[in-house]
Amino acid sequence: MQRRRVVVTGLGTVNPLAHNVDDFWAALLEGRSGAAPITLFDSSRLDVKFAAEVKDFDSTAYLPRKEARRFDRSTMLFWAATQQAVADAGISYEDGEPGAERAGVVCGTGIGGIGTTQDQMDVLAERGPSRVSPLAIPMIMSNQAAGAVSIGFHLAGPSTCTVTACAASANAIGDAAEIIRRGVADVMVAGGMEGSVTEFAMAGFNSMKALSTRNEDPTAASRPFDRDRDGFLLGEGAGALILEEYEHARERGADIYGEFVGYGMSADAYHITLPRPGGGGAARAMQAALDDAGVDPVDVDYINAHGTSTPANDVTETLAIKSVFGDHARSLAVSSTKSMTGHMLGGAGAVEAVIALKTVSEGVIPPTINYTTPDPECDLDYVPNEPREAPVSTALSNSFGFGGHNVSLLFRSLRATT
């Protein structure tokens, strides 16, 4: 049986730079940083006092207050992104509608309801077991967002959740595409989120020496591939894509951002937090995505890198890119938009897939900001500090997670495939 084609017909995001795709894209091209002093909680006890928060997020803009209070912050972020993507795609379902059984959702998260977990543990310690919320368990569940979106948008097809650390929402997009390819569904909401800016998460990552400590200059903290990088900027946010079978989209006259053509996965099988030296695992994921798509490495124009701004990741990813792309690696544009958004953990892959698709559809490559001092070990074209107009027919998006989970997604312009 011939594998069905998958296209992207809707995009949505809520992240540290903006609350919608258009404003987000404009902020990226301006080279704006989402880093700022923490406002979501009292950070006085922490060594690192800044993060990339979703600023001024009002959940009641998306749901009535009573309903919104039943969701963890992370779930509300994904709900908001999904609402945007559904509207953008111009597709919706009524409860019990036959088409709803052919529409589903895959949502990825690295940690799930960590904010609720911390809040309710405080309630338990300070006020006793009887005061723990009856909604605590549903709000903590990693799959709450997938379930909520399935119920709220009447998606009665496949509904599941991926939990693979920082690769989670990239896995969600790839898994959702496979569901459509197999003929199990025609439309899938795919993406993920993280509401990770909490005291507990900040303390844990800082204890690992993973965070940048530039309290004096937060907007310069995330500097992927730069020699003076000292750790990542913790962020939060969500991204949602509407994936659709090509003929289904064409028959209803949908606008198409691009085609999903490749999904690659691998495991480092090395260390719970560190990447395998040399980048062999990451290279296999990229090669698998190319093989899945039947795309030659020389046909890739742009890579949205995982690019966390940690010493180990950026060197390893550079080596992996050179391993897969050979001489063409020198011609590739590679940028890390985490320099602006921070690292949204499980939400990163989805938001960066939105960026890859906008790059393909707009012909502009967002920059890596804060790139001032080249690192001899990171010697590719990282699109430093300024966006670049360039035709991009094929874009790769990398997401690598703790546990050694590696995911690469490949998107291509429809004009390049039809």
Other CB atoms within 10 Å distance of the CB of residue 391 = 10
CA-wise closest residue to 347 among 95, 54, 97, 128: 54
Using DSSP bridges, classify how beta strands 302-304 and 258-267 pair: parallel, antiparallel or unpaired: unpaired
Q: Are 228 and 374 in contact (CB under 8 A)?
A: no
For residue 172, give the H/E element and its range: helix 168-181
Query: Does the active-site annotation cover 306?
Result: yes
Environment class of residue 67 by beta-carbon count within 10 Å: exposed (0-12), middle (13-18) or buried (19+)? middle
**Tokens 């659709």 belong to which residue?**
244
Contacts of 147 (CB under 8 A, 6+ apart): 141, 159
Q: What is the DSSP string of 98-145?
A: GGGGGEEEEEE-SSSSHHHHHHHHHHHHHH-GGGS-TTHHHHH-TTHH
Backbone angles phi, psi at 332, to 5 degrees: -75, 145
Which candidate in 19, 343, 378, 405 is catalytic? 343
Please give the full DSSP string across 231-284, using - where no structure is assigned. SBPBB-EEEEEEEEEHHHHHHTT----EEEEEEEEEE--S-SSSPPTT-HHHHH
DSSP 355-374: HHHHHHHH-EEPPBTT--SB
Query: Whose CA is closest to 167, among 351, 339, 347, 355?
Result: 347
Q: Helix, strand or coil for residue 82? A: helix
Catalytic residue among 107, 306, 378, 405: 306
Whether residue 109 contacts residue 75, with contact meaning beta carbons closer than 8 Å, is answered with: no
Q: Is residue 248 flagged as an active site residue?
A: no
- CA 229 vs. chain centroid, Å, equals 21
Helices 73-89, 144-152: axis angle to 10 degrees equals 40
State the catalytic residue, choosing from 166, 248, 378, 405.
166
Examine the residue annotation and report whether 328 is marked as an active-site residue of this protein.
no
As a whole number of angstroms, the distance between CA 27 and CA 17 comes to: 6
Q: How many CA atoms lie within 13 A of 169 on its CB side?
A: 35
Cα 272 from Cα 270, distance rounded (Å): 7
The residues annotated with a catalytic role in the active site are: 166, 306, 343
